């Protein structure tokens, strides 16, 4: 390829330039490193210079300072310092000089430096000497200013200049470095990138090239494959390759077909072997090759010879193939068989071989020109034994005649007549055996003229069958055809020899499709095995075994569907031996039913076993056909001991009778009568023990007729309970009769089922007049409603609600009179369900009493009110005349005291005193009675406010005695009548202050919570105290413990307190010891739950 | 000129007490007394025997009176155009709130409870004297132009 070198060049160039760039990059990197290190050195150098300059400065200063110090202190130690500094100066100056040797600017400065140094040192030395010599110093005072200083200044200036210079250089160098570094960087980057790009490009080109090549190679391979396939595919043409000398290199099927040689046989051979010997002798093959080689290709037509030595004409094209150098590699040959119809011949040949029947091709003279392997088999000849022979050898009679054209018709016509028709003839085997055949003819036009292809079918079986049929015709045909089941007759080798219409239908085949076929086609498994006589038994025996047995197998239809079948076999003697007639019944339906039944049986069986009661299934003969594990347990038998036994073994009496149909009724009717009823009988255990049972029957249809399922329940417990119950009922009855109250038992329907003698008396009925009657007859309203379960609750709930509660209702006597009653209900369970026992008490007396009580209370209430009013009015009206008496006796006393005699004074004094006492008493009485009559409703009251008010009211007494009143803080809000609460506090605190002898009366009001709702107040004082024996008395009206002249007061104060406290729902208490003060306690309610305190 | 006071009071004891109290108070008064409501009205209206009765400057009225109740008298006084200007003070033992309210509704000028104690009674009269008869200005006696 011409492009190849170019590509190569490109790749070379690419790689070359990449390498060049890399080198360049390397060079540059190296350069930059060098520069960098140089720069580093310079920097270092500069730093050194600076350092030394610094040291110089320092040394100079040290010189100055040490000299100064020495001059001041005159201590030798400073001279040491001085000397050291001098040395340093020298050293560092030398260093600087050396370092800056390449810098002329710096160098110029150095002499100045040295000069200054020398000056300074000189001066220093001078001064030192002076001091040493104890001579005064010039300008001693001005060490600061002076030549020394100036020198220092100059010196420092120079140093600084040098430093600056060095710095400048540093900066410059730095900049340079940076510049070159960045330049280098740039070049590096660019170079690297470029190098990469080129490499990538080159690589890509190479890659592309490679893949292109790969594709090309693949394409080449592909085309080679196709070519090969093509070559192989072509069958009509022989296409093969030869070597330069004519050796066969490749061979295709076409060549094979044409020559009859396989590739294995042909490859390697010289192609001249397919030439006729005379051609070989003439040297034709070589000549052909030579011509082909000379001209590139050569076409020739000539004779060839097949493997079987048959000759044929071909037209062949030889093409020389040369390599790129032009050297002859070989030849490719394409040749075509010129024999007419050779293509169709070949095809035809194939078909022929593959045909299931024997195929024989006969020419016009009756000679066999072609036959297939089936023909060989059928007639027992080898091919070459028949080829060329007359067909009459194998079909003696009938073939030729039909074919030979006579004057009346041509071959074609003759043929035409035969076409399609199956002609029955006799075939003759090599061994002389004859067999019936059926031939089907078809013409075949060929180069040699019209040939006849005959398809020959061995119809011996069929013939036999036909014979059989004829044999059996009279006997069986009718039967067979008419049979409702499919009938198939099979011979000893398992072939179907006969079948009927039903069989055709069942299996979906046509008769002739099955005749002669193996029965295994329709009954794959099971049939043949049973029939084929084996070493152990003969066919007859085998058949005999199967006779009359219904065997279940699977049948297979033509469409492949399988279905369950039952076959019944019977032998059939015939000329050919024992045949087996099989009646085949499609049992798919039955099978489904059986499956269902099995399922149901399974379910049923499960139910049976799981049932809590004993279950026994009995057949019409009274035998137990089924039982469950409960039955085993109950009766103490094992299952197998009971199955099949008469049910009377376990239920001696009563079962069978009920079931056995008699003349009057059928089983069904008998059953019907029992259905649902629980029948009580006696069961008999295995051990002979009897026990009461209850059976419930239900019918069960089965294949064996009607069975009876009996659920057997052991009711011994229940029976015992029933006995108990009746016993108890007796006892209960006794109790009932003895009860003091009327007792009535009512059932769920509201009817009286039981009553006692008291009930008879109360209601005025006789027992039998009430039994069974509705309870509403005696308790019209209210009883039934409470008891009868309604939709919302059951009887139990209804009863439960009433238990214990006394319900008041109205009862009605027989004479119609009504009276009030109280009911107490209690439930009573029994067999019939829930009964309600009602204890009925006549409460008319109680009711009256209640009424009376109510009246009395009313009266009392009224009289109390009256009394209250009376007290009020009385005391109020009493005031009037009393006022007169009191006032006028006072006036008398005032006006005439001292004016009459002393007796008169005394009398008047007593009168005045009595009158005023009476006034006070009446006032107190009024106040006491007002607690009740003028009392307001209790409301939320601040006890704090009430106390404050009481204190205000008492301020006179408090101030007088200097009393101290304290209280807990805060005092709660309580439920009280405000005025009365004030009065209460006022009385108690007033007492505390009054009943006090000496000192300061102290009163403390405290409060403590009591439970959730109460406040316990306490008023404690430090007064006289009270003797406990008087605790009761002091709260009485007008009770006093002291003489009138000791303490004033009517003695009603505490009585009022008591009344107030009691009115508030509490009670007043006192704790005291004489001389130790008293504590009065009372409780008040907290604000009631219903009221909410409102912030005011 | 002494003040004319009409005291409507049925208890002679109270009458005397009142007199004494006023005397102790030191005021020169003319105490006219009517012992029941009817007499009171006759006096005020200058009817019958009271044809020449002076017009009172001040009325002290008890509530519980025979024949005509003090409440009625009050009502009459305060309905009468000529009489209603006379300051009328209820002086009674009744502490009933309903009486108090009713009295003020009927336009009583003041409501006082008769104290039970003599001293307290004397103090009350003294106070009335000081306030009503000394401090307070009373309307002119005649309403004649």
Top pLDDT among B22 and A622 is at B22
**How many whole angstroms separate alpha carbon A542 and alpha carbon B138?**
161
pLDDT at A196 over 50: yes
How many contacts does A have with B, using Cβ atoms within 8 A? 31
Summarize pLDDT for A56-84 with one digit per residue, the tens. Answer: 888 888 888 888 888 777 778 888 888 88
Asked if the model's pLDDT at residue A4 lies above 70, the reply is no
Chain CA centroid to CA A830, Å? 52
Question: Is A887 close to B93, i.e. CB distance below 8 A?
Answer: no
Backbone angles phi, psi at A394, to 5 degrees: -105, -30
Cα distances from A916 to residues A872, A905, A1051, B93, B125, in angstroms, run 19, 16, 15, 17, 20
| Percentage of chain A lying above the pLDDT 70 cut | 87
Decide if B114 and A919 are in contact by the 8 Å CB cutoff: no
Query: CA-CA distance, A569 to A553, in Å (whole number)?
Result: 13
- Cβ–Cβ gap B118/A887 under 8 Å: yes
Rg (CA), chain B: 14
Q: Are A725 and A831 in contact (CB under 8 A)?
A: yes
Which region holds residue B9: left if phi is over 0, alpha if psi is between -120 and 50, else beta?
Answer: beta
Whether B97 has its CB under 8 Å from any CB of chain A: the answer is no
Mean of the per-residue pLDDT values for chain B?
Answer: 89
- CB neighbours of B24 closer than 8 A, spacing ≥ 6? B122, B125, B126
The closest of A774, A769, A740, A779 to A757, measured between CA atoms, is A740
* CA A476 vs CA A510, A582, B14: distances in Å: 19, 13, 161
A76-99 vs A3-73: helix axis angle to the nearest 10?
160
pLDDT of A1091 higher than 70: no
A698 in helix, strand or coil?
strand
Domains recognised in chain B with CATH numbers: 3-135 (3.40.50.2300)
Q: How far is B11 from chain A (nearest CA, A)?
A: 9
A873-910 residue pLDDT tens: 777 788 888 888 888 988 888 888 888 888 888 888 88
Cα first-last separation, chain A: 118
pLDDT in tens, A601-611: 777 778 778 88
pLDDT band (50, 70, 90) for residue A773:
confident
Contact A1000, A1066 (CB under 8 A): no
Q: Which of A733, A722, A822, A826 is nearest to A771 (CA)?
A: A733
Q: How confident is the model at residue B92 (pLDDT cuts 50, 70, 90)?
A: very high
Q: How far apart are CA A733 and CA A754, in angstroms?
A: 9
Pick A890's closest partner by Cβ from B11, B13, B118.
Answer: B118
If we measure between CA atoms, which residue out of A129, A93, A124, A123 comes closest to residue A111? A93
> Per-residue pLDDT averaged across A607-620, rounded?
82
- Please report, for residues A61, A69, A155, A562, the alpha-carbon distance to residue A149 in angstroms, rounded to integers and kept in the order given: 10, 15, 10, 135
Q: Nearest residue on chain A to B12, judged by CA atoms?
A: A884
Give the pLDDT confidence of A265-320 residue by residue, as tens digits: 888 888 888 888 888 888 888 888 888 888 888 888 888 888 888 888 888 888 88
> What are A194's two structure tokens?
């470029």
Mutate to test the interface with B, among A883, A908, A922 (most CBs of B within 10 A): A883
Q: Is A321 on the interface with B (CB under 8 A)?
A: no
User: How does DSSP classify residue A163?
Assistant: H
Q: How crowded is residue A232: how many other Cβ atoms within 10 Å of its Cβ? A: 14
pLDDT of residue A784 exceeding 70, the answer is no
- Least CB-CB distance to A884: which of B13, B20, B119? B13
Average pLDDT of chain A to the nearest whole number? 80
Separation CA A702–CA A709 (nearest Å): 12
pLDDT at residue A345, as a whole number: 59
At residue A530, the pLDDT reads 57
Q: Taking CB atoms and an 8 Å cutoff, what residues of chain A touch B119?
A: 890
Contact (CB<8Å) B118/A891: yes
Closest CA to A935 of A897, A980, A986, A965: A980
List of chain B residues whose C-beta atoms are within 8 Å of the C-beta of residue A890? 118-119
Contacts of A111 (CB under 8 A, 6+ apart): none
Q: Which residues numbered 901-940 in A keep a CB inside 8 Å of some CB on B?
A: 916, 919, 923
Closest partner CB to A886 (pick from B11, B93, B118): B118
Cα gap A1009→A746, rounded to integer Å: 55
Q: What is the DSSP string of chain B?
A: -PEEEEEE-S-HHHHHHHHHHHHHHT--EEEEEESSHHHHHHHHHT-GGGTTPPPPSEEEE-S--SSS-HHHHHHHHHHSTTTTTS-EEEEES---HHHHHHHHHTT-SEEEEPPSSHHHHHHHHHHHIIIIIIISPPPPS----
Question: Has residue B61 got a pLDDT over 90?
Answer: yes
CA A681 to chain centre: 57
DSSP 3-state assignment of A512?
helix
Query: Shortest CB distance from A879 goes to which of B17, B116, B118?
Result: B116
| Residue B121 sits at the chain A interface (C-beta within 8 Å) | yes
Task: For Cα atoms A779, A782, A787, give the angle at the middle one, nearest 5 degrees.
Answer: 105
> Is the model's pLDDT at A191 over the cut of 50?
yes
Interchain proximity A880–B11, CB inside 8 Å = yes
Is residue B78 within 8 A of residue B106, CB to CB? The reply is: yes
Give dist(CA A202, CA A168) in Å, integer: 51
- In this predicted structure, what is the pLDDT of residue B102? 94
From chain B, pick out residues whose CB is under 8 angstroms from the CB of A876: 93
pLDDT band at A421 (very low <50, low <70, confident <90, very high): low
Residue A639's nearest CA partner among A671, A600, A601, A605 is: A605
Q: How confident is the model at residue A1093 (pLDDT cuts 50, 70, 90)?
A: very low
Q: Is B26 on the interface with A (CB under 8 A)?
A: no
Taking residue A957's Cβ as centre, other Cβ atoms within 10 Å add up to 14
Tell me, yes or no, if B11 comes closer than 8 A to chain A by beta carbon: yes
Of A888, A891, A919, Cβ closest to residue B116 = A919
User: Residue B85 and residue B137: Cα distance in Å, rounded?
Assistant: 12
Residue A71 is encoded by which pair of tokens? 């001059």
Query: Residue range A676-702: average pLDDT?
Result: 81
Q: What tokens appear for A780 in the block?
A: 């019209």
Nearest to A507 by CA among A488, A494, A490: A488
**What is chain A's length?**
1096
- Give yes or no for residue A526 having a pLDDT over 70: yes
Task: Say if the Cβ atoms of A884 and B11 lie within 8 Å.
Answer: yes
Instruction: Supply the DSSP symbol for A394.
Output: T
The lowest-confidence range among A164-173, A180-189, A377-386, A477-486 is A477-486
Smallest CA–CA distance from B122 into chain A, residue:
A887
Q: B118, A880: Cβ pair inside 8 Å?
A: no
Quote the pLDDT of residue A790. Answer: 43
Q: Under a CB-based contact definition with an 8 Å cutoff, are residues A466 and A445 in contact?
A: no
> Scanning every residue of chain A, which has its alpha carbon at the shortest distance from the alpha carbon of B95?
A876
Query: Chain A closest CA to B117's CA: distance in Å?
Result: 7
Which range is least confidently modeled, A117-131, A647-661, A914-928? A647-661
Per-residue pLDDT tens for A319-376? 888 888 888 888 888 888 876 555 555 666 777 787 788 888 888 777 888 888 888 8
Nearest residue in A to B93, CA atom: A880
For residue A804, name the pLDDT band (cuts at 50, 70, 90). Answer: low
Task: Give the helix ranges, DSSP H, for A897-1007.
Answer: 902-933, 943-953, 955-961, 978-994
Q: Which of residues 823-882 of A touch B (CB under 8 A)?
A: 876, 879-880, 882
Q: Which residues of B touch A925 (CB under 8 A)?
A: none
**Number of Cβ within a 10 Å radius of residue A445:** 12
Pairing of strands A806-812, A678-684: unpaired
CA distance A947 to chain B (A): 25
Beta pairing class for A690-702 and A577-586: unpaired
Of residues A1013, A943, A944, A946, the one with CA closest to residue A986: A946
Please answer yes or no on whether A919 and B117 come within 8 Å at the CB atom.
Answer: yes
Rounded to 10°, the helix A902-933/A978-994 angle is 140
**CB burial of residue A1011 (10 Å; 0-12, 13-18, 19+):** exposed
pLDDT score for A986: 92
Chain A residue numbers with beta carbons less than 8 Å from the beta carbon of B114 are 883
Asked if the C-beta of A754 comes within 8 angstroms of chain B's C-beta atoms, the answer is no
Residue B107: pLDDT band with limits 50, 70, 90: very high
**Backbone dihedral angles phi then psi of residue A75, each to the nearest 5 degrees:** -95, 135
Confidence grade of residue B109 (pLDDT, cut at 50, 70, 90): very high
Phi and psi torsions of A982, nearest 5°: -60, -45
Token readout for A374 is 């089936």
What residue of B is the nearest CA neighbor of A895? B20
**Pair A579, A490: CB distance under 8 Å:** yes
pTM, entire model? 0.36
What are the chain B neighbours of A873 within 8 Å (beta carbons)?
Answer: none
Confidence of residue B104 (pLDDT cuts 50, 70, 90): very high
Q: Nearest by CB to B93, which of A880, A886, A919?
A: A880
DSSP letter string over A702-721? ETTEEEEEEEEEE-HHHHHH
Nearest-CB residue to A883 (from B20, B116, B119)? B116
Residue A921, Cβ density class (10 Å: 0-12 exposed, 13-18 middle, ≥19 buried): middle
Average pLDDT over residues A548-564: 82
Contact B13 A879 (CB under 8 A): no
3-state secondary structure of A1039: coil
Judge whether residue B7 has pLDDT over 90: yes
Q: What is the mean pLDDT of residues A162-187?
A: 81
Taking residue B59's Cβ as centre, other Cβ atoms within 10 Å add up to 27
Roughly how many angstroms between the first and final C-alpha of chain B, as a whole number? 21
**Smallest Cα–Cα separation from A1030: which of A999, A1056, A1054, A1004?**
A1054
**B88 close to B34: Cβ distance less than 8 angstroms:** no
Does the structure show a pLDDT above 80 at A20?
Answer: yes
As to burial, measured by CB atoms within 10 angstroms (0-12 exposed, 13-18 middle, 19+ buried), residue A66 is buried
pLDDT band at A1 (very low <50, low <70, confident <90, very high): very low
């Amino acid at each position: 390829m011409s492009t190849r070198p170019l590509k190569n060049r490109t790749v070379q160039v690419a790689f070359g330039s990449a390498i060049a760039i890399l080198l360049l990059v390397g060079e540059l990197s190296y350069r930059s490193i060098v520069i960098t290190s140089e720069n580093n050195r310079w920097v270092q150098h500069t730093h050194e210079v600076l350092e030394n300059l610094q040291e110089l400065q320092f040394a100079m200063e040290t010189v100055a300072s040490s000299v100064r110090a020495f001059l001041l202190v005159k201590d030798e130690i400073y001279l040491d310092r001085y000397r050291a500094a001098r040395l340093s100066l020298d050293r560092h100056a030398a260093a600087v000089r050396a370092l800056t040797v390449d810098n002329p600017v710096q160098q110029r400065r150095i002499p100045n430096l040295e000069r200054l140094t020398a000056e300074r040192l000189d001066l220093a030395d001078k001064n030192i000497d002076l001091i040493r010599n104890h001579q005064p110093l010039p300008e001693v005072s001005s060490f600061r200013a002076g030549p020394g200083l100036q020198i220092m200044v100059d010196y420092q200036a120079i140093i600084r200049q040098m430093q600056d210079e060095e710095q400048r250089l540093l900066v410059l160098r730095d900049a340079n470095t940076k510049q070159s570094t960045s330049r280098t960087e740039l070049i590096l980057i660019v170079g690297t990138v470029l190098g990469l790009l080129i490499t990538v490009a080159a690589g890509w080109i190479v890659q592309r090239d490679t893949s292109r090549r790969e594709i090309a190679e693949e394409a080449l391979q592909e085309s080679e494959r196709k070519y090969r396939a093509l070559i192989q595919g072509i069958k009509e043409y022989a296409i093969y390759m030869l070597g330069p000398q004519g050796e066969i290199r490749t061979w295709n099927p076409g060549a094979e077909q044409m020559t009859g040689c396989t590739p294995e046989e042909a490859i390697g051979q010289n192609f001249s072997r397919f030439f006729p010997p005379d051609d070989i002798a003439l040297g034709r093959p070589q000549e052909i090759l030579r011509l082909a080689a000379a001209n590139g290709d050569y076409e020739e037509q000539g004779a060839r010879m097949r493997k079987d030595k048959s000759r044929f004409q071909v037209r062949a094209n030889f093409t020389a193939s040369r390599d790129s150098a032009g050297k002859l590699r070989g030849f490719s040959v394409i040749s075509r068989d010129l024999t007419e119809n050779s293509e169709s011949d070949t095809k035809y040949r194939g078909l022929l071989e593959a045909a299931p029947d024997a195929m024989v091709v006969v020419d016009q003279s009756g000679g066999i020109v072609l036959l297939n392997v089936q023909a060989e088999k059928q007639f027992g000849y080898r091919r070459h034994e028949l080829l060329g022979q007359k067909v009459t050898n194998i079909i003696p009679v009938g073939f030729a005649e039909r074919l030979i054209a006579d004057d009346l018709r041509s071959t074609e016509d003759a043929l035409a007549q035969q076409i399609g028709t199956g002609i029955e003839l006799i075939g003759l085997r090599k061994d002389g055996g004859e067999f019936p055949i059926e031939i089907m003819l078809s013409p075949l036009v060929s180069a040699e003229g019209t040939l006849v292809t005959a398809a020959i079918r061995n119809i011996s079986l069929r013939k036999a069958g036909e014979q059989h049929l004829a044999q059996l015709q009279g006997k069986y045909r009718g039967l067979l055809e008419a049979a409702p089941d499919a009938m198939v007759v099979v011979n000893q080798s398992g072939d179907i020899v006969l079948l009927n219409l039903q069989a055709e239908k069942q299996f979906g085949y046509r008769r002739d499709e099955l005749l002669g076929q193996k029965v295994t086609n329709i009954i794959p498994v099971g049939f043949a095995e049973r029939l084929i006589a084996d070493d152990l038994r003969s066919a007859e025996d085998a058949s005999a075994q199967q006779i009359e047995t219904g065997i279940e197998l699977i049948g297979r239809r033509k469409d492949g569907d399988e279905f369950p079948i039952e076959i019944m076999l019977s032998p059939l003697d015939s000329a050919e031996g024992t045949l087996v007639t099989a009646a085949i019944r499609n049992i798919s339906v039955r099978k489904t039913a059986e499956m269902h039944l099995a399922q149901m049986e399974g379910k049923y069986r499960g139910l049976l076993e799981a049932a809590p009661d004993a279950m026994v299934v009995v057949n019409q003969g009274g035998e137990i056909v089924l039982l469950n594990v409960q039955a085993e347990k109950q009766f103490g038998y094992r299952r197998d001991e009971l199955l099949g036994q008469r049910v009377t073994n376990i239920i001696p009496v009563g079962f069978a009778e009920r079931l056995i149909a008699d003349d009057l009724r059928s089983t069904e009717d008998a059953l019907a009568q029992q259905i649902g009823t629980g029948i009580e009988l006696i069961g008999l255990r295995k051990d002979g023990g009897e026990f009461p049972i209850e059976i419930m029957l239900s019918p069960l249809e089965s294949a064996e007729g009607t069975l009876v399922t009996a659920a057997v329940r052991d009711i011994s417990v229940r029976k015992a309970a029933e006995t108990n119950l009746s016993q108890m009922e007796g006892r209960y009855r006794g109790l009932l009769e003895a009860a003091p109250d009327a007792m009535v038992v009512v059932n769920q329907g509201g009817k009286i089922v039981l009553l006692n003698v008291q009930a008879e008396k109360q209601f005025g009925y006789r027992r039998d007049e009430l039994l069974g009657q509705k309870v509403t007859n005696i308790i019209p309203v209210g009883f039934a409603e409470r008891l009868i379960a309604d939709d919302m609750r059951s009887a139990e709930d209804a009863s439960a609600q009433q238990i214990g509660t006394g319900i008041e209702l109205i009862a009605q006597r027989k004479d119609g009179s009504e009276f009030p009653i109280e009911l107490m209900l209690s439930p009573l369970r029994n067999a019939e369900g829930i009964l309600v026992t009602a204890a009925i008490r006549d409460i008319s007396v109680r009711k009256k009493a209640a009424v009376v009580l109510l009246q009395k209370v009313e009266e009392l209430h009224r009289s109390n009110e009256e009394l209250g009013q009376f007290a009020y009015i009385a005391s109020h009206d009493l005031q009037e005349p009393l006022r007169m008496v009191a006032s006028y006796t006072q006036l008398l006393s005032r006006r005439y005291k001292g004016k009459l005699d002393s007796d008169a004074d005394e009398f008047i004094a007593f009168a005045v005193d009595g009158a005023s006492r009476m006034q006070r008493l009446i006032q107190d009485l009024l106040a006491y009675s007002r607690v009740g009559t003028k009392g307001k409703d209790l409301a939320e009251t601040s006890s704090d406010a009430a106390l404050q008010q009481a204190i205000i009211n008492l301020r006179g007494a408090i101030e007088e005695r200097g009393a101290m009143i304290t209280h807990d803080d805060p005092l709660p809000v309580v439920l009280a009548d405000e005025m009365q609460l004030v009065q209460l506090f006022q009385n108690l605190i007033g007492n505390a202050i009054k009943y006090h002898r000496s000192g300061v009366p102290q009163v403390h009001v405290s409060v403590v919570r009591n439970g959730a709702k109460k406040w316990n107040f306490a008023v404690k004082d430090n007064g006289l105290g009270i003797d406990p024996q008087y605790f009761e008395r002091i709260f009485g009206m007008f009770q006093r413990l002291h003489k009138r002249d000791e303490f004033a007061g009517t003695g009603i104060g505490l009585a009022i307190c008591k009344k107030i406290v009691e009115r508030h729902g509490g009670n007043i208490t006192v704790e005291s010891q004489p001389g130790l003060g008293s504590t009065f306690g009372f409780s008040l309610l907290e604000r009631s739950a219903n009221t909410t305190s409102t912030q005011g | 000129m002494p003040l004319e006071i009409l005291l409507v009071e049925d208890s002679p004891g109270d009458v005397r007490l009142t007199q004494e109290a006023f005397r102790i108070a030191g005021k020169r008064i003319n105490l006219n007394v009517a012992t029941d409501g009817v007499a009171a009205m006759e006096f005020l209206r200058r009817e019958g025997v009271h044809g020449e009765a002076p017009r009172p400057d001040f009325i002290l009225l008890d509530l519980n009176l025979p024949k005509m109740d003090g409440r009625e008298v009050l009502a009459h006084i305060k309905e009468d155009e000529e009489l209603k200007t006379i300051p009328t003070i209820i002086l009674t033992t009744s502490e009933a709130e309903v009486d108090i309210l009713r009295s003020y509704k009927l336009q009583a000028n003041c409501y006082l409870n008769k104290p039970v104690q003599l001293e307290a009674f004397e103090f009350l009269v003294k106070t009335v004297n000081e306030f009503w008869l000394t401090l307070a200005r009373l309307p002119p006696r005649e309403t004649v132009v």
